[in-house]
Chains A and B, each alone.
Chain A
Amino acid sequence: MTRQENDWPDRIYDLLGRLQLRQVAHVPDAGHKRLIELCVADSEKKVVTLTSEEEGVGLLTGAWLGGEKGVLLMQSSGIGNCINALAMVESCRVPLLMLVAMRGEWGEFNPWQMPMGLAVEPVLKAIHAVVLRAEAAADVVPTVEAAAGLAFNGQRAVAVLLSQRLIGSKRFAK
């Protein structure tokens, strides 16, 4: 992977700035480490570290009610924590952009990650979220940008699944 291909978290960060996404809510994942660091260092961003992912659905609902846009960063297991809260987003037609670092797929070493990894897409679709996937570094920014458009224009939940093939080599090379 070239340096340029490897810097997609920096490019997501640039995009968050262009889109004026102010509230950045997260339960950390190693795949989001760089992006979280960039957001924490940015005084324009309000970074909210959550104890569980569904808190971020509530937070960003409140943010939108108050006139601010945001993004929710999590690992795929966190989607399982969010489903009932996502029903509220659907009922209220609140825009919600989620960036999901996948586990339980390509290269997974922990078998206990597999069931939730396999369930992410079907459960998101069952609660009427739009699901997009980024498999390669070059896809990431266009996919996140498209997802933000669908979320904020379409007023609904949109998840970008950042594949484990994309983020995995970094995670497991330690």
Chain B
Amino acid sequence: MSNKKEKVLRRRALVTRLLAERDEMVVVSGLGSATWDVAEAGDEPLNFPLWAGMGCAAMIGLGLALAQPTRRVVVITGDGEMLMGLGGLATIADQAPENLAVLVLDNESFGETGGQPTPTAGLADLAGIARGAGFSAVFEAADEAALTPLITAVRSAPGPVFAVAKVALETLPLVMPPKDGAFLKDRLRRALGVDASA
């Protein structure tokens, strides 16, 4: 996949399409743009939007997937956030949870801090890194034709799934989910029926 090509995929449309048929899916969104993208698609009790903990999103997904093995868990994050937690890809592949998918919206930039290029703008290849970490279900899309199978895989292919969508670098309106971490945690636990105090 050439990094020089103009990116045609738009992150918000992609996330909205993915989550339009989410069923009982739990969604963890990584710090920054991915959290705004998921919020625009609709704030739901089964969302856990991160406001900090950069690099932790995929591992939160793993803990959830192990605790809730019959439910689809999808992590939606950016390339900068994923690059901070690359070791976790080896950990996830080693655990091999069938119900976990990690989707990276790769705009090759630190979009929240001025659009500085990440290593994926150069030679780094997140899909290749995931394969090297031990993922066998790896999907990539840079255009609409490849997007449909990628979205299907994120929703339902046997995991662990790692998917990379090359998306445009855009300045988009901030759409914010609730900010209180304790509220977000309790809301998700209640939605999953695991909060004994509810």
A63 contacts B63, CB within 8 Å? yes
Chain A residues with CB below 8 A from B42, complex form = none
* B87–A65 CB distance below 8 A: no
In B155-174, which residues have CB < 8 Å from any A CB? none
B56 on the interface (CB 8 Å rule)?
yes
Pick from A59, A87, A92, A93: contact of B63, CB under 8 Å: A59
* A6 is an interface residue with CB less than 8 A from chain B: no
Q: Hey, which chain A residues are within 8 Å of B51, CB to CB?
A: 91
Which of the candidate stretches B8-16, B64-72, B120-128, B146-154 sits at the interface with the other chain? B64-72
CA distance A68 to B67 in the complex (A): 6
Number of A-B contacts (CB under 8 A): 124
By DSSP majority rule, is chain A's interface helix, strand, loop, or mixed? helix
Q: Which residues of B contact A91 (CB under 8 A)?
A: 51-52, 181-182
A13 to B170, CA, bound (A): 51
Count residues of chain A with CB under 8 A from any CB of chain B.
33
Which applies to chain B's interface (DSSP): helix, strand, loop or mixed?
helix
Q: Looking at the complex, which one of B53, B57, B192 makes contact with A66 (CB distance below 8 Å)?
A: B192
B54 within 8 A of A: yes
Also in contact, A65 and B91, with CB within 8 A (given A85-B53, A88-B56, A91-B52) = no
B52 touches A52 (CB 8 A): no
A67 contacts the other chain (Cβ, under 8 Å)? yes
Cβ-defined partner of A92 (8 Å) among B65, B67, B182: B182
- A61-B184 Cα distance, complex, nearest whole Å: 12
- Note all chain A residues with C-beta closer than 8 A to B67: 22-23, 62-63, 65-68
Interface status of A94 (Cβ within 8 A of chain B): yes
- A52 in contact with B87 (CB, 8 Å): yes
Choose one: A49, A54, A93, A155; the contact of B56 (CB below 8 Å): A54
- Chosen A-B contacts, 18 in total, with CB atoms closer than 8 Å, are A57-B59, A58-B60, A58-B85, A59-B59, A59-B62, A59-B66, A63-B64, A65-B67, A65-B185, A65-B189, A66-B194, A68-B66, A88-B50, A88-B56, A91-B51, A91-B182, A92-B184, A93-B182
Closest 3 CB pairs between A and B?
Answer: A62-B63, A67-B194, A66-B67
Give the A-binding residues of B (Cβ under 8 A). 26, 28, 48, 50-68, 85, 87-88, 90-91, 94-95, 181-182, 184-185, 188-189, 192-194
